Structure 1
């Protein structure tokens, strides 16, 4: 994979005014439909902190710029290493035949031909764990990998903390702040325990805890988006009229705070951001549900 493209996220400017892509993914951000207006110093500082934190996270060990592999695990045995004859082809720094993973029902069995570190501590050459214990990691030199679950599917996610594709000068260009996209809305909660099923970009069914509907006005016209919980964060994933043209083709995401006592919420599209798939091909992003596909340009 070549050098990472500059990531264009919320209010982010298209570079060279043309469509950019990484693998089969389009990268984009929100293109404003109006002029920017003056904002308070406090709000400017808030957004500056948001932007800095985003860059810090993307560059961190837990971020997405260091991903270098994604390998879906089938039942049975799969070999991995740098040789192209393996089921899972690892980067060229690995031995030709480095090891294997065997899935037997609800268990994974890893065998390695060289010593690796388990959970960054214990030296091992083999290890077995259940599908309910996916918090283990394996390390070898600058690489780390672990098993992730998406729906009922499992994959090896591979990271390189010295990934040469990570640009140390990586930045995100933004359009000027427009406070008209910081919108007051209302939140109508669903009954507790409601779930929804959506798909990720691989077509895997993904279940999410749906928590309610956020309603708001744009230019006097009413719109609504369904919210869900992403860990501890109230989250909206959405598409709009710019999706696939001026913005990332997979849609965008934003977080919002808990409603006040009257059910009011703030939906700040200045803080919307692209899914990781916009800048790394080894990701497993969700596809916004039909209810969250707006016909306006945001």
Structure 2
């Protein structure tokens, strides 16, 4: 069912959406946000040097390591490091930020691979950023759904924005809801904070007015009876919508919705959006 709002509520609804939108933009365009990424470097057991990071980098059974030249320094956990430094074995979707001057060198593990992803505030993608197009907020695109937990979380393998890469998520359950008279369902992944959920999806606008590969919707923890609110006005682009230097997951096949959800963020200008 959709959510009905009074005239007074509509004003608050639009203001709350605007605050959400501004927060999305601020995080994206922060000095070390995703628009500041200048390279996506895949590590192996051979030391490699990159033009946008200091030292020579590699990974082995003991995890990621860097050998810094004389005069080079990184700050890791607030402490300066020189010479050879080991970051250790990183957890999947985990990482460490190492400060290098005004840049941050992200050291992370994605899809079973260790990567180095430098972030420079003066990256052209960031300095030229003019904001993300979006649909005007409309309560038509807010629905109440019902969350059903699986007996045990289901390991779910999905593709990634990078060809050949896969991500595995333990899906805790699914959300059933109705939109414009259409019964729909989405497999949910763990979200931010205890009990929060995240759904990745495409719909009939994908590749037309919204980014083709994916959009993401964060959900608050379900209530005791399983009720969740899906506000598609807050359907957000993932970093891969802006840059090829992201490893974003793709939605599972069952999350390709057959309806046009004309809400949320549109194709970025960086990808030819208007």
Q: Quick check: TM above 0.5?
A: yes
Q: Which structure 1 segments of 5+ residues have no match?
A: 1-36, 82-89
Cα distance in structure 2, aligned partners of 1:262 and 1:103: 47
SS in 1 for 2:126: coil
Return the offset for 1:41: 1.4
Scaled by the length of structure 1, the TM-score of the pair is 0.76
Aligned-residue RMSD, C-alpha = 2.3
- Aligned residues of 1:213 and 1:226 also touching (Cα < 8 A): yes
Task: Write the mapping of 1:201-280 to structure 2, written as runs, cut at 5 A.
Answer: 201-202=161-162, 203-232=164-193, 233-280=196-243
Matched, 1:42 2:12: yes
The correspondence for 1:174, drawn from 129, 134, 140, is 134
Bigger mean CA offset, 178-187 vs 197-206: 197-206
Bigger mean CA offset, 200-209 vs 261-270: 200-209
Over residues 31-53 of structure 1, what are the superposed CA-to-partner deviations in whole Å (9 max), with x where a residue is unaligned?
xxxxxx97611111210111111
SS in 1 for 2:82: strand
Return the offset for 1:63: 2.4
- Aligned residues of 1:77 and 1:100 also touching (Cα < 8 A): no
Scaled by the length of structure 2, the TM-score of the pair is 0.82
1:296 corresponds to which residue? 259
SS in 2 for 1:166: helix
2:121 corresponds to which residue? 161
1:191 corresponds to which residue? 151
Residues 181 and 166 of structure 1: CA distance in aligned 2, closer, same or farther (over 3 Å): same
Q: Which structure 2 segments of 5+ residues have no match?
A: 1-5, 262-274
2:49 corresponds to which residue? 80
SS in 2 for 1:68: coil
Moved over 4 A (4+): none
Residues 143 and 169 of structure 1: CA distance in aligned 2, closer, same or farther (over 3 Å): closer
The structure with more helix, counted as a fraction of residues = 2
Which one scores higher on RCO, CA 8 angstroms, separation ≥ 6? Answer: 1
- Aligned residues of 1:116 and 1:138 also touching (Cα < 8 A): no
- Aligned residues of 1:147 and 1:155 also touching (Cα < 8 A): yes
SS in 2 for 1:184: strand
Cα distance in structure 2, aligned partners of 1:222 and 1:162: 46
